[in-house]
Structure 1
Amino acid sequence: MKNIYEFLKGLKDNKELKSCQLLIVNDDKQAQIANDIVSFLGFESFVLSDFRANFGDDLLSFSEELQGITKTLNDYYSYKKENKILISPIRTVSFPMPKDTCFDSFEISFADTLKLEDLKDKLHNWGYYFVDIVTSEAEVSIRGDILDICPLGSEKGFRVSLFDDEVESIREFDIEDQKSSKDEIESFKITPAFLALDEETLEDINEQIELVESDAFIKDIHSLGFWYLGDLGEYLPQKLNSFITHEALDELDEVYVFEDKRLNKDKFLTIPQITYSKDYQEIAPANIKEFLSFHEGKKVTIISSSEAKVKSFDLELSNEKINYVFNNSIINLVSNDEVIISLNKEIKKRRKKKVRLVLDELQNGDFVVHEKHGIGQYKGIEPVVVMGAKRDFVVVMYAGDDKLLLPVENIDLIDRYVADGSSYAVVDKLGKGSFAKLKEKVKDRLFAIANDIIKIAAARELVNGIKINTNKQLLTDFAKKAGFDYTKDQKRSVKEIFDDLNSGRVMDRLLSGDVGFGKTEVAMNAMLAVVLDGHQTLFVCPTTLLASQHYHGIKKRFDEFGIKVAKLDGKSTTKEKNEVKKSLENGDIQVVIGTHSLLSVKTKDLALVIIDEEHKFGVKQKEKLKQLREDVHIFSMSATPIPRTLNLALSKLKGMSSLLTPPSERLGVRTYVKEYSEKLIKEIVLREKRRGGQLFYVHNNIASIEAKKADIEEIVPNIKIEIIHSKIKPADAEKLIERFENKEFDILLATSIVESGLHLPNANSIIIDGADRFGIADLHQLRGRVGRSNKEGFCYYVVEDKKKITDDAIKRLVALESNSYLGSGTALAHQDLEIRGGGNIIGEAQSGHIKQIGYGLYLKMLEDALATLSGDKKEESESVDIKLAISAYISSDYIVEDRVRLELYRRLSKCKDKDEVYVIEEEMEDRFGKPDIPTKQFLELIIIKILAISKGIKTISSYEMNITLTKSDDTKETIKSSSKDDDDIISATLQYLRK
């Protein structure tokens, strides 16, 4: 920081800005520091992303950085004043960058004339993705006379309504929920998503890409175009006046590990280097007022994001000796005549938001569960003419080719069938009543489980918990010695646990957080608080591997506090077990980490039990732990998200905390989808070896895993490989992991046993063989094995032959690769994970029942059981059979995409109140224009359904002008419409129901 500040200040003081237009730094972090300094000194700053690709890489997995580079260069070239500085990490400017002629922009304004075909061509040439629904930047969707677009760099989308070819209105819309604002705007600007290319140039680049030998899964402008700019590219260090930091020069060897088409290494050595600062020192004052009193007479600048923050540091805004600057910069420096202090803390990089609009992508052939008829196979939506009127029906196939036609307004009666990864659904026989009997059996079992859960929760409420004093300086010191700053979620979770421990009530809290988000660190705070107060704690893990890892990590952190930590698991000898149990009983040991062996130990003064990967334990096992001592505090951790359905039900019984923010030093995992080749495997292994790392190779077939090992050894000789799978003894598996952690071999060849729990920071590449055969949730979990330190992780989803896998599988894999919402692959993974996570909460012992009725229905029934026993009896879901001779469906002319129509059918079918329907109708009009007649009539049909249920009506049918309504007590009433036209039948029915 001090070197860059002194250098740029010298330029500013001597009015020599033209001599520096490009500042080359080490990485993203240094670029942010330089950005703060450049802005503070009054220059206009433009920062390029750290682009860590290698020449020829498939750039779909670098789409975020590429879009960032495009946006920054576009802004830099269009800024016409001279006080501008481009800041770039060294890796980025070692590649040729697009010339200023590759950038452009245009505006769409109210009352403009738009030729849609021309606009489509232009946006395609400029690198925009055409999608059904715009959910992130650089996407565009055209539906009839409505254009949705989210320009590059914009957080909002823009919705353009056309009248013929004239722009009738422009409004911003939220890409999360698709709702547009009521206020119209005059115009908005569109910049290229890749480059502003004309048709001819684009064709030239595409021709070059076609000729290239590449392992890119899809060869197109988005994946490989950047490498074939040719005359459109230039090396910025040769074009602009440049300076380089000495840290960036130190990176040169790493930048040139691979022989790529980069700027000649020697060229960087000729760029003027920013020398070490002689005058400035970096500072971190603890007490700012006291620090300033030692530096009186110097020029003092205080940087703060707000006036309120200045007051919170007890500084006077009226002090004329201090120059206040209000922005978010972080600069802390002192020299002989100047002091600069920032009150701001580092702002974490914003993660991409998850799109709330999760599309229910039921594919033809997926298994579904009907609440009454059981498991069947979804076969799409079919229009059927009934009594001369056209309606849409969901087609579900059952055993013996029986077909169920479900009216779309009742689509909420079916749910996706999910059990576990290995389960394959068995379809039920339609109309035999066997599914109803099965449901009753499961319901009885669930009531027993729910009853146990509630009894224990109620009993614990009556018991006074062990009160732990959490207000100790040692606890603050422990957090500071973690070697990293806690995320805001970690701080909040620690506070919630401390509040529980301090409350005098018995704690029962569940912490959910993704792999590597720091759950164990949170747990250690609780353990330390308990031990410092003179009590004991047990840490229970599902496997010896995990127990061993936690033992080494926790022992290392607790040693300096003089806390005795022991291990008790299947690998411990009888002598060791007896010693640990004896020490626990007489109070010599405060912390024991182990597996199921801990379920039956005796303790002297146990106050806290921590259960890791709690979804791996059955309900009974968890309750047995609670019975070790009735006033013991329970803290559970799980890497699977808690499903919305269970969250409310369970939160009445236990506390919930969640970690949603990744640690600041963690880099994302770079993901690639590749077709298998020996050359590819060799390149991946050698690339990881060159940076001193190790690899996971996932091959999910024990029968052929030895043959796979021989293949890899042949492809990459002199490489050390070991195999691990579920049939290897736990003790041997643990030794293997220890050897892998000690870097005694290079590749751990495994089945999906490595999916959860392992923390091996030096293994940062993972190859997943046969990725198309894994569920998207499993792929997400496996990817979480790497990138767990401050090193970038690489994940390769490898398929045998891309010609043989379905379009859908390709779409989902590519969606995972680009980490975007091009399909809704990742949103779907999240949904799947939620469902899986929910089943896990109940415990693996229930997997038989779950397999029979699917997780979705199982959770629903458990929630009902918990609610009933808690006294919040839920209303039975009611339905009405509507057989009106009207054409009512969401027309494919109105909404072309089947998946979007299916999503709207699903949302409308779940409406319980007519106001909810009107909100969706307003949204549909906003997104797709005014509904056509069949669509409008379908919306009215949903209103009829809601009103009929509220009036206790079972069936509504019509013949000619007669409409018959049957009530729940089987009494019937017949009304007449003024004609047999659709609108009159609807009008008469609504009029009756609204009375």
Structure 2
Amino acid sequence: MWARYYEYLKSHRPDIIITHNEEETKRVSDVAKVLGIAHYLLPDLRAEEGDDLRVFKEELDDLYRVLNDYYHAPKLLIAPQATIAKKLPTKKYFARETLEFGERIDIEKFKEKLYQWGYTFVDIIEAKGEASFRGDIIDIFPPNLVNPIRISLFDEDIESIRSFDPQTQRSYKEELEEVTIYNTNLVRDSELESAIARSSFDVFEKDIYSVGFWVAQREDITHGKSVIHTKEIPEPKSYKDIEVINIDNLIAHKNKPVKVCVKSPEIARRSSIKDLTKVTFIYTDAIINIEGPDEIIVSLNKRKKRRVKRVGVVLDELKPGEYVVHEQHGIGIFKGLRQIAILGAKRDFVEIAYAGEDKLLVPVENLDVLSRYIADSGSVAVVDKLGSKSFSRLKAKVKERLFEIAADIVKLSAKRALSEGKKILIPQDITLFQKDAGFIYTEDQQKAVDAILQKLASGKIMDMLLSGDVGFGKTEVAMNAIYAVVKNGYQAAVVVPTTLLSNQHYNSLHERLSKYGISVTKIDRFVSAKEKKERLQALKEGKIDVVVGTHALFGAEFKNLALVVIDEEHKFGVKQKEKLKEFSKDVHILSMSATPIPRSLNMALSQIKDLSEIRTPPDNRKPVRTYVKAYDEKLIKEVILRELRRGGQVFYIFNSIAGIEEKRAQLESLLPGKKILVLHSKISSSVTEKELVKFANGEYDILLSTSIVESGIHMPNVNTIIVEGADRFGIADLHQLRGRVGRGGKEGYCYYIVEDKEALTEEAKKRLIALESNSYLGSGAALAYYDLEIRGGGNIIGAQQSGHIKNIGYTLYLKMLEDTITKLTKGEIEEESEVELKLSVNAYISTDLVPEDRLKLELYRRLSQANSIEDVSEIEEEIKDRFGHIDEVTRNFLDLIEIKIRAKERGIKRISNYNQNITIEYADKKELIKAPSKDDDDILKTTLRYLKS
């Protein structure tokens, strides 16, 4: 594996080494690192001529960065065959520029340059290739840097250059003397622009990002260079690959110097090697294990998987025309920010329209009383009448119901926290069981397994939520808990929302556990009444160790149940989950969900739950290549035949039961002789299950169905999915459907088909481009934050609650649930009274400082939710860091928020002024104070002085 490359590179120095694939590229690179040979690494670009390159953004960013380096400072290039065979863009498309402290920048020219270099201009930077200009602050995320950079200007001179964290948007303290930035896409010129316009490729949106690479001038970069393909490298004569189990044994038994590859001196110092004097360390992240005539080289490193980033700054994306919920007045329509002068002082308000052309102006410092209206998918909001009592009556009803639900949850949780749980000792052979999985656990899987086993062994009851994207290995984690429980002499139950999942889990559990003498059965609606009765009796007598089932399991009796695993946790209501827990008061609970739980519910649940996350994709998972295409029979035929040629099968999603038979006839005439299975919700579940088993066994080529495959179905041989009418699905559903393919180590392909690209709404277009651009593993959370909330709306709390959610909106519903749980767990909390501020001062976030309304809204929302002076100070620092010097009206607004917080702490109801006379009103008294003048500054300072005294 390594020995060939090592022996060859010890005595040869070609200009270019061509490899078979990405894996081999990494191995050759590791050898070059150990030998100290400076080199570049090209990514494995597997795009076919004419493919939409948005899908290959990661590889392309990487390719352009490396080519920029290579053209400006050539050294050994290691390149996969598929990439180098394409011919690569010439040197004229690659540029770089160094910016230095104190240098003068012509902003307009610099902006134009970044545009020519392929940068996208945004309000807030989150990804490479983005730039943001906000007054005297410029943020840029060049492809050659790990973090984006923030440039502060004084007039046109660079006053400071600092890196910043794209998730928190906060700068690091250390200032940089200079920074070099590269172009992020090919440098545009008129020739390239017209080539893009003339091109006839079938892409969703024709621009430099989708077709630039194909139409640019390209050349064979191997021309005139010394080149070798790895297949031409001879077998080694003096070196051989070795497997290292114990480095100490190697040192003891071999009379040769041993070199050990390790990332840093710190790791070397803490390594398990007993005699550090016997080895020489090579500080590198390379992985290589070889033995030669006079040396041995081994590695302590492991290949690190990239973790999926958590969703960073979730912005307020309220747009005029959207529904909002006011905590007192109910559902209205958001009309946008309005600046209004009252008694000569300017302030910002949010305007909301209610029934009968009524309007409500909400001061921005009280934005925390507003939330987006989110209900179940398909719910239509009914706008309330301003001033009617109906909304407060609805809220009271919901509160009453929530109190019952929350009381049940908290009572059970309290009982479980106080009562001793069944102590599950960690089985001695657990590592053997893990090895038997057939793959190495990712770091996150191992952490989750360890956390669960420790909790089970603690003697306290476990109530754990395990979340992770589609196909990230949650089931394997759960199997460890099931194995431990059964080995301790107890039973386990796995509860799932659908019979399809029940069958799937039963098969995988049976296959994995039966060899250890663990009996597994299932109970769902496909099991006959006679069988169900027999199996329930066997559970009661303790003759069965593990049962998998749907809600058909509710009410089952067990001899000694210790663990309930709930899959697709968000599909069950809380009340249903409590039923499960009532199997036994001291049962351990493990809930699994691929849907990120909304933040506010997470906060409520974290008081009574353990949370664990899997954010690392398994080794063999590759991102699913995602394309958006207009409907074309030739394309459909080619896509399906390409999958069948590589021995796979295809999902074809057509979400209309009425038209599905006609679609089958179309496909049959297009693909004669291919076997097509049709499934939808009107086909009986027994037929569905039987047919799916046949499909899984390869008896059909294509599954034509409605979106029933969206949830939890695992078929590793299906690696292409076509979704017709994709513009009519929500973003979360499309992401879930895409997650059904690419699960067996083969690359998955997803085609979102639309009838007519030109007829799409702007929203649908944006949604589909977002899906096409964000196909990285684990993008579910980042992509579908709000949509997943919508999807989980009725499910997280229970379907019976969807009426309440429709009436008051999901966000307010969750906030009320959170308040109720908090009250029940932490004692009664007094209702917070709002402070009415009627100070006639100019106080708002100025447009000169923050020009974008959505960014202003985000800051207003966060400031309105600030609970302490520290919160306000932090946001003030952030505004200064992100937008530059804070002007007077913005500072006045920050003072106003401080006044609101301090007044709330002192139980003040209202603060108002007339000229320089300021009135402070408590519930039972009034106080009058006087400012030196009626200037804004004096009014605010005098009020703050009073509140601090």
| TM bracket (short chain) | over 0.9
Equivalent residues in 2 for 1:74-113 (5 A)?
74-80=68-74, 84-113=75-104
Alignment-mate amino acid for residue 178 of structure 1: Q
- Deviations for 1:797-848, whole angstroms, at most 9, x for unmatched residues? 3333333333343233323322299xx9974622543575576332333222
Aligned to 1:119: 110
Q: 1:460 to 1:141 in 2, by over 3 A?
A: closer
Tell me the distance in 1 between the aligned counterparts of 2:417 and 2:171.
Answer: 47
Q: State which of 233, 236, 255 in structure 2 corresponds to 1:274.
A: 233
Equivalent residues in 2 for 1:535-550 (5 A)?
535-550=490-505
Q: 1:354 to 1:428 in 2, by over 3 A?
A: same
Equivalent residues in 2 for 1:202-351 (5 A)?
202-230=189-217, 233-246=218-231, 273-296=232-255, 298-307=256-265, 308-309=267-268, 312-319=271-278, 322-335=279-292, 337-351=294-308
Tell me the distance in 2 between the aligned counterparts of 1:442 and 1:138.
Answer: 47
Q: 1:367 to 1:39 in 2, by over 3 A?
A: same
Aligned to 1:508: 463
Q: 1:145 to 1:586 in 2, by over 3 A?
A: closer
Give, in angstroms, the shift of residue 641 of structure 1: 1.7
Alignment-mate amino acid for residue 499 of structure 2: T
What is the DSSP-based 3-state SS (H/G/I as helix, E as strand, rest coil) of the residue aligned with 1:504? Answer: coil
Give, in angstroms, the shift of residue 528 of structure 1: 1.2
Aligned to 2:46: 52
- Contact between 2:467 and 2:592, CA under 8 Å: does it hold in 1? yes
Give, in angstroms, the shift of residue 573 of structure 1: 1.8
Give, in angstroms, the shift of residue 368 of structure 1: 1.4
Aligned to 1:557: 512
Tell me the distance in 2 between the aligned counterparts of 1:704 and 1:880.
Answer: 58
1:40 aligns with 2:34: yes
Tell me the distance in 2 between the aligned counterparts of 1:690 and 1:387.
Answer: 76
- Contact between 1:170 and 1:184, CA under 8 Å: does it hold in 2? yes
Give, in angstroms, the shift of residue 794 of structure 1: 2.0
Q: 1:681 to 1:388 in 2, by over 3 A?
A: farther
Q: 1:828 to 1:407 in 2, by over 3 A?
A: farther
Give, in angstroms, the shift of residue 8 of structure 1: 4.5
Give, in angstroms, the shift of residue 310 of structure 1: 5.9
Tell me the distance in 2 between the aligned counterparts of 1:820 and 1:753.
Answer: 22
Question: Could you list the runs of 5+ residues in structure 1 that have no partner in the other structure?
Answer: 247-272
- Deviations for 1:490-549, whole angstroms, at most 9, x for unmatched residues? 112212221222223333222222211111101111111122222222221111100101
- Deviations for 1:2-52, whole angstroms, at most 9, x for unmatched residues? 3xx434433433xx31xx122222222222211111111121121111111
For normalisation by structure 1, the TM-score amounts to 0.91
Tell me the distance in 1 between the aligned counterparts of 2:487 and 2:881.
Answer: 60
1:399 aligns with 2:355: yes
What is the DSSP-based 3-state SS (H/G/I as helix, E as strand, rest coil) of the residue aligned with 2:658? Answer: helix
Q: 1:763 to 1:10 in 2, by over 3 A?
A: closer
- Aligned pairs, number: 946
Aligned to 1:932: 887
Equivalent residues in 2 for 1:866-905 (5 A)?
866-905=821-860
Tell me the distance in 2 between the aligned counterparts of 1:717 and 1:347.
Answer: 46
Tell me the distance in 2 between the aligned counterparts of 1:92 and 1:350.
Answer: 26
Aligned to 1:262: none
Q: 1:806 to 1:980 in 2, by over 3 A?
A: farther
Tell me the distance in 1 between the aligned counterparts of 2:666 and 2:389.
Answer: 53
What is the DSSP-based 3-state SS (H/G/I as helix, E as strand, rest coil) of the residue aligned with 1:318? Answer: helix
Q: State which of 308, 323, 327 in structure 2 corresponds to 1:371.
A: 327
Tell me the distance in 2 between the aligned counterparts of 1:919 and 1:620.
Answer: 40
Tell me the distance in 2 between the aligned counterparts of 1:620 and 1:693.
Answer: 41
1:442 aligns with 2:436: no
Q: 1:420 to 1:746 in 2, by over 3 A?
A: farther
- Contact between 1:136 and 1:820, CA under 8 Å: does it hold in 2? no
Give, in angstroms, the shift of residue 723 of structure 1: 2.7
Q: 1:184 to 1:635 in 2, by over 3 A?
A: closer
Aligned to 2:7: 9
Alignment-mate amino acid for residue 302 of structure 1: V
Aligned to 1:622: 577
Question: Could you list the runs of 5+ residues in structure 2 that have no partner in the other structure?
Answer: none
- Contact between 1:9 and 1:41, CA under 8 Å: does it hold in 2? no
Give, in angstroms, the shift of residue 192 of structure 1: 1.5
- Contact between 1:641 and 1:833, CA under 8 Å: does it hold in 2? yes
Tell me the distance in 2 between the aligned counterparts of 1:734 and 1:660.
Answer: 32
Tell me the distance in 1 between the aligned counterparts of 2:551 and 2:417.
Answer: 26
Tell me the distance in 2 between the aligned counterparts of 1:940 and 1:529.
Answer: 57
Tell me the distance in 2 between the aligned counterparts of 1:936 and 1:707.
Answer: 65
Give, in angstroms, the shift of residue 929 of structure 1: 1.8
Q: Which moved more, 1:613-622 or 1:414-423?
A: 613-622
Give, in angstroms, the shift of residue 278 of structure 1: 4.9
Alignment-mate amino acid for residue 10 of structure 2: K
- Contact between 1:140 and 1:150, CA under 8 Å: does it hold in 2? yes
Give, in angstroms, the shift of residue 671 of structure 1: 2.1
- Deviations for 1:920-970, whole angstroms, at most 9, x for unmatched residues? 22221222222333323222222222222222222233334433332233x
Give, in angstroms, the shift of residue 875 of structure 1: 4.3
Q: 1:439 to 1:390 in 2, by over 3 A?
A: same
Give, in angstroms, the shift of residue 148 of structure 1: 1.4
What is the DSSP-based 3-state SS (H/G/I as helix, E as strand, rest coil) of the residue aligned with 1:168? Answer: strand
Tell me the distance in 1 between the aligned counterparts of 2:743 and 2:658.
Answer: 30
Tell me the distance in 1 between the aligned counterparts of 2:531 and 2:238.
Answer: 61
Equivalent residues in 2 for 1:696-775 (5 A)?
696-775=651-730
Q: Which moved more, 1:102-111 or 1:648-657?
A: 648-657
Q: State which of 61, 64, 71 in structure 2 corresponds to 1:70.
A: 64
Tell me the distance in 2 between the aligned counterparts of 1:852 and 1:550.
Answer: 37
Tell me the distance in 2 between the aligned counterparts of 1:304 and 1:96.
Answer: 36
Q: State which of 165, 182, 191 in structure 1 corresponds to 2:182.
A: 191
Tell me the distance in 2 between the aligned counterparts of 1:576 and 1:276.
Answer: 62
1:840 aligns with 2:795: yes
What is the DSSP-based 3-state SS (H/G/I as helix, E as strand, rest coil) of the residue aligned with 2:628? Answer: strand
What is the DSSP-based 3-state SS (H/G/I as helix, E as strand, rest coil) of the residue aligned with 1:754? Answer: helix
Give, in angstroms, the shift of residue 900 of structure 1: 1.1
Tell me the distance in 1 between the aligned counterparts of 2:270 and 2:878.
Answer: 45
Give, in angstroms, the shift of residue 583 of structure 1: 2.7
Aligned to 1:780: 735
Q: 1:7 to 1:659 in 2, by over 3 A?
A: closer
- Contact between 1:310 and 1:316, CA under 8 Å: does it hold in 2? no
- Contact between 2:465 and 2:590, CA under 8 Å: does it hold in 1? yes
What is the DSSP-based 3-state SS (H/G/I as helix, E as strand, rest coil) of the residue aligned with 1:600? Answer: coil
What is the DSSP-based 3-state SS (H/G/I as helix, E as strand, rest coil) of the residue aligned with 1:442? Answer: helix
What is the DSSP-based 3-state SS (H/G/I as helix, E as strand, rest coil) of the residue aligned with 2:678? Answer: strand
- Contact between 1:359 and 1:828, CA under 8 Å: does it hold in 2? no
Tell me the distance in 2 between the aligned counterparts of 1:836 and 1:876.
Answer: 31
What is the DSSP-based 3-state SS (H/G/I as helix, E as strand, rest coil) of the residue aligned with 2:61? Answer: helix
Give, in angstroms, the shift of residue 112 of structure 1: 1.7
Q: Which moved more, 1:587-596 or 1:541-550?
A: 587-596
- Deviations for 1:612-661, whole angstroms, at most 9, x for unmatched residues? 11222233332232222333322222222233323343233232222122
Give, in angstroms, the shift of residue 857 of structure 1: 1.2
Q: Which moved more, 1:522-531 or 1:874-883?
A: 874-883
Aligned to 1:255: none
Q: Which moved more, 1:422-431 or 1:305-314?
A: 305-314
Q: Which moved more, 1:871-880 or 1:735-744?
A: 871-880
Give, in angstroms, the shift of residue 62 of structure 1: 1.1
Q: 1:309 to 1:727 in 2, by over 3 A?
A: farther
- Contact between 2:376 and 2:793, CA under 8 Å: does it hold in 1? no
Aligned to 1:855: 810
Q: 1:48 to 1:729 in 2, by over 3 A?
A: same
Equivalent residues in 2 for 1:395-434 (5 A)?
395-434=351-390
